[in-house]
Structure 1
Amino acid sequence: MLSTSARLLRLASLLQSRRHWPGAALAEALGVESRTLRRDIDRLRELGYPVEASSGVGGGYAMGRGAALPPLLLDDEEAVALAIALRAAGATVGGMEATALQLVGKLDQLMPARLQRRASALHAVTLSLRTGEPLVDAGRLSALAAACRDGRALHFHYRKHAGDTDARHVQPQRLANYGRRWYLVAWDVDRADWRTFRIDRIEGALEPGEAFPPRPLPADVAARLERGIAYAPFACRVTLRLAGSAEELQAALPLWCGVVEPLTDTHSLLHMGAETPEGLLAQVLMIDREVEWVGGNVPAASFARVLGRLSSLFSGVREEVTA
């Protein structure tokens, strides 16, 4: 049988791993009788762990919420994952670099040597390339997440893709992350429709509004978000026809490439967007697949002008090869 101190650590870890433990199952996991389990629960409470007990058929134990945060017990894999995540957090979310470093320092002091080597290995051999400042602040993310959770409307000013700013009144629902960018999915009250907002374009203060009842998300919320990221905001847009099912192409093409729409069992449509005809042609070439033109809003003369520049550029290469 484990010593009392080791058993208490094991008990605290088990209680933190699940929302609720039946008393018999918890005693069995510890290898003790129910009387010993009750004594250990009392000892944890004396140490500051807010353990709640319930009786009856579905009775058992659960870790409650206290006035202070009790010690958190992590297994080896959890400790390593937390250390790696903390080291990477400052690259994408601003305002948390100092706190993340403090937590990494605490973990380094507590972890045994074998885990320190694992947790620091990735950081030690990784070159941090220049990616620019974090695009979103941790405080703003927390405020938006709280508004989503609590069902509280928000008023803010939003800078659109074209650069102009307008006021928005929204009912926030979800946050979404894509690389270094974060997005807010919300019901736009004034437009009576769903909208996606890039969080780094939300300007000024977030003014809380009225509470709103739960609103079910549309079934195609992920597709709406992808279209809002990779297609809708851009001035130049085209639609191409590709061989392959939608599932196959979605797995093969990166999200920034465009939005895939099923057409038949063997072919799909790809909706692509870019700021300029040059950027759009570059994306088409990077697909590295045979494509068929379906339609778009870019004049053929614009593409012809870009292709003419490319032809002039590489004519010198042909002359060098011939010589």
Structure 2
Amino acid sequence: MTTATSRLLLVLSLLQLGRDWPGQALAERVAVSPRTLRRDIDHLREMGYRIRAIKGPHGGYRLEAGSELPPLLFDDEQAVALAVALQTATASGAGIGEAAARALTTVRQVLPARLRHRLDQLEVTALSSAERGASTEVEPAVLLALSGAVRARHVLRFDYTTDAARQRSRAAPALPPRRVEAHHVVTRDGRWYLVGWDLDRGDWRVFRADRITPRTPTGPRFAPRELPGNDIGTFLSARFKGSDGADVWPCIGEVVLDLSAREVAPFAADGIVEAIAPGRCRLVAGSWSWTALAAAFGRFDADIEVIGPTELAEAFARLARRYGHAASGSGGARCGAAPPR
């Protein structure tokens, strides 16, 4: 038993084959009575489809030449939401990237011209990584401004609010707007970023979109530059690791832990774990600084033997001094204990 909606879609798809359908033949193909078919045809006409009745002994139905799907009723915000959802579907991990791209093309064809233009302005890249951070919200108007500049190859002028800027006094002079050749709008793990060439710094920069306030008008057109590595995913991953070059951690070290490889592997992220004895394993991992790497190794709560390099051993020594100082001045509540009154 088909639902009324699925039956209407079947009738429409058959009429779109570009042939005349005798009423009886169409009813048999849809597996309904001629009376039900007439009601379905009336419903389709009410929805805006121009279906012509053919008179005669074998009368039937024809979808008029040039018939198009009626315009979908989306407001501006809904159109932006639809474009973002379909373009970022590749990062969902559901394997629907190609289907989402085709769906976006189909929807675009049936939107009114004004909304098609807004949809065309929005061009984003969706990425995902092993760990998902806290998501942030970005105004649709900001996304449209950023993506429009990327598509048009216009220099963007915008105010950028950093953590340091938030701490500055209101009386301090305002900073001049940033001037950036906008190359990519990227969404990665719940946050939006603009990747572009900073004209004043003379280097590639990654900006949080939720901290951007675009200025108008935009600057002049620019010729696209070649992104390092020529791949936005690799470039952004490298920058998040603190590397200006290849997609590798700038600090990589090796230790032996008094834990089994089975216990360490689930928490090693992109590190390499190798079992070397019962209850012992070798772990090679990286981080953006030696101190951060030493702290990451220390979180396994096990005896540690540093294999190298010397910078890692020195980082452990620095942490030992800091932790020793913190312990000598301890007096706060233990984890799980009631806070002081």
TM-score range, shorter chain: 0.3 to 0.5
Higher normalized helix content (fraction of residues): 1
User: TM-score scaled by structure 1?
Assistant: 0.44
Higher normalized strand content (fraction of residues): 1
